[in-house]
Amino acid sequence: MIARFGGAAALLLFFILFIKFLAQLPGSILDAGGKAQRFTQILIVSVTILVVAVPEGLPLAVTLSLAYATTRMLKDNNLVRVLKACETMGNATTICSDKTGTLTQNRMTVIAGTLGISQRFAEKEQSSVQAESGEQDNQTEQRTTAEEPDATPMREFFCAIPKELADLLRDSVVLNSTAFEGKDDQGNKEFIGSKTETALLSMARDFLGLDDIETERQNAQVVQPIPFSSERKCMGIVVNMEMNGRRFHRLYVKGASEILLRQSAHVIDISSGGLQQHMISEWDRKSVEHTIADYASKSLRTIALVYRDFHQWPPRGVRLAPDDKTQAEFDDIFQEMVFIGVMGIMDPLRPGVTQAVEDCHKAGVFVRMVTGDNIMTAKAIAEQCGIFTPGGIVMEGPKFRTLTGVQMDQIIPRLQVLARSSPDDKRILVKRLKEMGETVAVTGDGTNDGPALKTADVGFSMGIAGTEVAKEASSIILMDDNFASIVKAIMWGRCVSDAVKKFLQVWHLKSLLKDLTLISVPIDCQRHGCWSRNGFFYCESNGRICAYGSTITLGKLDHGYFCGIGISDGSTNSRTLRPEA
């Protein structure tokens, strides 16, 4: 900033002096050499302004402040990869934060669900996750609100469902998943992978008789895997199966509940004691939508499970993949699905998140939540942690990306929650905020978050759940994946700014005192009859040097710029002053 102002001042001075030089050319008596010398003097003066604009100790002061701050930030779980990001974070005006793992603990558990239209279950027992969290009040409220009076306890519910439905649920969860089984540091078995998938696998292990996940998968004949896409918000798998002497292909899909419900034409029915299905009526569809909204309003992530059977593979009349004729295009087969049910997954807030968001607001930093969750779930979580306030706007990504530039400029200042968003929506939001003059910090953990992390002024990647691509694209790595650590980064960034300001204050004070001191030198020397020669002021009484200065000649004017500190007392014992190094 100082260099920019110095450069602007130098450029302005150069133009003023150059215009004056050109205006005096017609009546000038100087020869060509004199004119060239005068132009050179103008150039030297302009460069001098540019050089002296930046204090000589400022780069060192900034470097030392940044080095100290980055060392202390590492103790606060902020690993700084780009040094200037520390100072930039002190000037941040808005933060675009993920929800899962940053605002929440990323320790997901299935605590409620509905199979078919009305077969509901819920976990009635107190969760061990709460007991360890340390923030009992709001999380206990979150858990108890998930309980429903007409819901059956989970263990009792799954013991009573037909075996066909239990097998269908287990296969839908186990086969259509990328998570796997491993061991923790203590040697205990645990599921590793997406926390949403590990929550579903834990439910299958505890209530659906899942023993060995690798055995289940090895026994299945996978025909076509369909990886998760952030655009379609779902993933699937096609398996060759045999049941009751009949062979067929079954497509399992799990993902965003409202999207899967929209693609479903049938729903399972266990009211008669067996596994049946019937067409979804308008009343059925509204009932499921109400269930999804109910779970989402209680801060639960909703995941739906659907399936569809095919007599042959690839099915007739569908488009085939260009690179493999045995693979079908997902959009052509993802229709007329059979709706199995919807699961409500709880992810408790991190301890201290609410206070951290409040601290950001007090510091003048606007916090926004950008998540791929259901809009109702995102809004409920945002209300709990203080991000969503009265008058704020909650919007879904597909609608946001269709807005014009003018509409975005009107909505973004009040936009607090962006739900069902894709990584590209996050990038668009960050880019637009920067165009509006904001200093933007953004969090990301996935490979697709790389463009948004690069676009932002400061990108935060997750040290635990983040991918290597996200870490390489970020400026700072959150070692604990905690939003509260971002607040500490803001604090240290502002400490760096304060240190630089204090240095400049001291430097300007020193310069002011030096100038005031040296102004008295010519007056004092004139009073005692001192005389100057070659930039030195000599005392007339004893001929000793009493001050030192430098003379810059511009045209016919001589301007003295003093580089020393100190004055002569005008006596015979006046000291010799040395110029400031």
**pLDDT value for 562:** 30
Query: What does the CA dihedral 477, 483, 489, 494 come to, rounded to 10 degrees?
Result: 150
Exposure of 265 in the CB half-sphere (CA atoms within 13 A): 7
pLDDT of residue 323: 86
Residue 541 and residue 570: Cα distance in Å, rounded?
9
In this structure, what token pair is assigned to residue 579?
């110029």
Choice among 68-72, 190-194, 221-225, 291-295 with the minimum mean pLDDT: 68-72
Which residue out of 31, 76, 98, 211 is catalytically annotated?
Answer: 98
CATH number of 76-103+350-497: 3.40.50.1000
Cα distances from 254 to residues 194, 200, 370, in angstroms, run 13, 11, 22
Query: Using CA atoms, how far apart are residues 267 and 270, in angstroms rounded to an integer?
Result: 10
Burial of residue 405 (number of CB atoms within 10 Å: 0-12, 13-18, 19+) = exposed
CA distance 557 to 559: 6
SS3 186: coil
What are the pLDDT digits (tens) for 472-505? 999 999 998 889 899 899 988 888 877 777 777 7
The runs of H, that is alpha helices, within 220-352 are 257-262, 282-297, 330-333
Q: What is the reported pTM?
A: 0.70
pLDDT for the residue 55: 65
Confidence label for 280 from pLDDT (cuts 50, 70 and 90) = very high
Q: Is 98 a catalytic residue?
A: yes
Q: Kindly provide the residue ranges of all beta strands, DSSP E only, lying in 174-299, ordered along the sequence.
A: 180-183, 189-192, 221-229, 234-243, 246-256, 264-269, 276-279
* Tens of pLDDT, residues 246-255: 899 999 999 9
CATH topology of domain 109-128+137-346: Calcium-transporting ATPase, cytoplasmic domain N (3.40.1110)
Token pair listed for 270? 């266990």
What 3-state DSSP class applies to 215? helix
pLDDT top residue among 321 and 562 = 321
Is the Cβ–Cβ distance between 562 and 520 less than 8 Å?
no
76-103+350-497 and 109-128+137-346: identical CATH topology: no
What are the backbone dihedrals phi and psi of residue 320, each rounded to the nearest 5 degrees, phi first? -105, 155
Write down the pLDDT at residue 17: 87
Per-residue confidence band for 293, with pLDDT thresholds at 50, 70 and 90: very high
Domain residue ranges in the chain: 1-54, 76-103+350-497, 109-128+137-346, 528-581
* Structural element, H or E, at residue 417: strand 415-419
> What is the spatial distance between Cα 517 and Cα 510, in angstroms, rounded to a whole number?
10
